[in-house]
């Protein structure tokens, strides 16, 4: 029987602990503060930001949502980041990606104070991760590691395949897996035969953004399959990078879409905001 890696259930469990943490901080007069900056009108980004705001409210975290027009200049955005860098009541700053073309995301990641970089995308935090000394960690890969651990899956010694090399998922995911003693391959658009690599992998993390890219034929019997995809089928239905219905008969464990990785990302964002606020308490 395949094990369903249920991110919704684990998130609900973690919400209980996080509410306790927020209550404990409140006794010291501290309310965790999260600034979320969204530039432009990317539809998916607006949904993500709305969900973040809702979850923050539920947990007692103060969120400030800045929605800036698509015409915002890089200078204007950097000024706003600087304002939040200096705001003592803001513990975490998140600039939603992607950004409009006139803004270089690298300049943005360099501008965020690494101690407030709740996404873990800044070069300082990415460097710490790859140095084996992680501090703030990208929320989606961290959520995946928590989900695996909560289900008793130890990746040590596994041959792991990460499909995708983005700053948001692929790169930090690979770093976390290496730190946890997996042997990692990072595949990307120029990889020769990703399917052949998939077939010999013990763990597949699919983050390529192609609906049902991984089929049952690509999965070794008993492998663990994690689906980061949020894709649309031609009929408009939400699905992932993995053909869940068929892969579930081959894999030993699998994440559903929705309800797998997605809820864990927001949970980790909230948890890291709380952890950063705890730094203020000392
Ligand atoms: N865009 C898609 N996922 C994310 C995320 O986790 N953080 C940010 N900042 N942008 C994203």
Residue 277 included in any domain: no
CA–CA gap between residue 243 and residue 241 (Å, rounded): 7
Same domain, 48 and 98: yes
Sheet strands side by side (includes 159-163) = 3-4, 253-254, 224-227, 203-206, 159-163, 183-187
Same domain, 85 and 161: no
Token duo for residue 123:
């070069």
Same domain, 98 and 202: no
Q: Which ranges in 151-260 belong to alpha helices (H)?
A: 170-179, 194-199, 244-247
Residue 4 included in any domain: no
Residues known to be catalytic:
52, 96, 119
Pocket residue to mutate for ligand 1, from 37, 40, 45, 97, most atoms within 8 A of Cβ: 97
Pocket residue to mutate for ligand 1, from 93, 94, 125, 169, most atoms within 8 A of Cβ: 94
Residue 10 included in any domain: no
Q: Are 204 and 198 in contact (CB under 8 A)?
A: yes
Mean pLDDT of 62-88: 98
Ligand 1 centre and the CA of 265: distance in Å?
Answer: 9
- Give the model's pLDDT for residue 282: 66
CA atoms within 13 A on the CB side of 244: 21
Q: Which ranges in the chain belong to alpha helices (H)?
A: 7-26, 43-59, 74-85, 105-111, 123-130, 139-150, 170-179, 194-199, 244-247, 261-281
Domain enclosing residue 249, as ranges: 139-261
Same domain, 236 and 205: yes
Q: What is the CATH number of the domain that holds 151?
A: 3.40.50.720
Mean pLDDT of 65-84: 98
Backbone angles phi, psi at 86, to 5 degrees: -95, -5
Same domain, 54 and 150: no
Residue 85 included in any domain: yes
Looking at the chain, the whole-number percentage of residues with pLDDT higher than 90 is 98
Backbone angles phi, psi at 27, to 5 degrees: -65, -20
Q: Which atom of ligand 1 is nearest to the CA of 45?
A: 1
Same domain, 191 and 87: no
CA–CA gap between residue 37 and residue 35 (Å, rounded): 6
Looking at the chain, the whole-number percentage of residues with pLDDT higher than 70 is 100
Token duo for residue 237:
């239905």
Q: Is 63 annotated as a binding residue?
A: no
Q: Which atom of ligand 1 is nearest to the CA of 269?
A: 6
Q: Is 246 helix (H, G, I), strand (E, B) or coil?
A: helix
Token duo for residue 243:
């053909």
Instruction: Name 119's bridge partners.
Output: none
Domain boundary among 58, 81, 116: 116
| Domain total in the chain | 2
Mean pLDDT of 251-280: 97
Same domain, 112 and 143: no
Mean pLDDT of 196-208: 98
Same domain, 107 and 173: no
Same domain, 100 and 209: no
pLDDT > 70? residue 18? yes
Same domain, 111 and 146: no
Instruction: Name 253's bridge partners.
Output: 3, 224
Same domain, 143 and 109: no
Q: Among residues 37, 111, 115, 45, which one has the least CA distance to residue 78?
A: 111
Residue 133 included in any domain: no
- Give the model's pLDDT for residue 281: 79
Q: Is 157 annotated as a binding residue?
A: no
Q: Is 165 annotated as a binding residue?
A: yes
Domain boundary among 101, 116, 131: 116
Same domain, 169 and 104: no
pLDDT tens column, 137-168 = 999 999 999 999 999 999 999 999 999 999 99
Confidence of residue 93 (pLDDT cuts 50, 70, 90): very high
Where does ligand 1 bind, in terms of residues with CB under 6 Å?
94-97, 119, 139-140, 168, 265
Q: What is the CATH number of the domain that holds 92?
A: 3.40.50.10860
């Amino acid at each position: 029987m395949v094990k369903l890696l249920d991110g919704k259930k684990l998130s609900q469990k973690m919400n209980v602990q996080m509410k306790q943490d927020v209550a404990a901080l409140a006794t010291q007069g501290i309310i965790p503060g999260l600034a979320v900056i969204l530039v432009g009108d990317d539809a998916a980004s607006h949904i993500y930001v709305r969900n973040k705001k809702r979850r923050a409210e539920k947990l007692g975290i103060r969120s400030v949502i800045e929605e800036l027009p698509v015409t915002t200049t890089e200078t204007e955005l950097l000024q706003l980041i600087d304002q939040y860098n200096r705001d003592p009541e803001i513990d975490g700053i998140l600039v939603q990606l992607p950004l409009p073309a006139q803004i270089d995301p690298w300049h943005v990641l360099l501008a965020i104070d690494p101690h407030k970089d709740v996404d873990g995308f800044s070069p300082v935090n990415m460097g710490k991760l790859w140095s084996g000394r992680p501090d703030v960690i990208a929320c989606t890969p961290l959520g995946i590691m928590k989900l695996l651990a909560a289900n008793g899956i130890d990746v040590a010694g596994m041959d792991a395949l990460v499909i995708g090399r983005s700053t948001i998922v692929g790169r930090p995911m690979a770093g976390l897996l290496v730190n946890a003693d997996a042997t990692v391959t990072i595949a990307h658009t120029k990889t020769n035969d990703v399917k052949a690599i998939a077939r010999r992998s013990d763990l597949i993390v699919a983050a390529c953004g192609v609906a049902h890219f991984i089929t049952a034929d690509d999965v070794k019997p008993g492998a663990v399959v994690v689906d980061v995809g949020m894709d649309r089928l031609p009929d408009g239905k939400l699905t992932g990078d993995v053909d869940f219905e068929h892969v579930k008969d081959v894999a030993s464990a699998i994440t559903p879409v929705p309800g797998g990785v997605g809820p864990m990302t927001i949970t980790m964002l909230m948890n890291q905001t709380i952890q950063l606020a705890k730094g203020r308490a000392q």
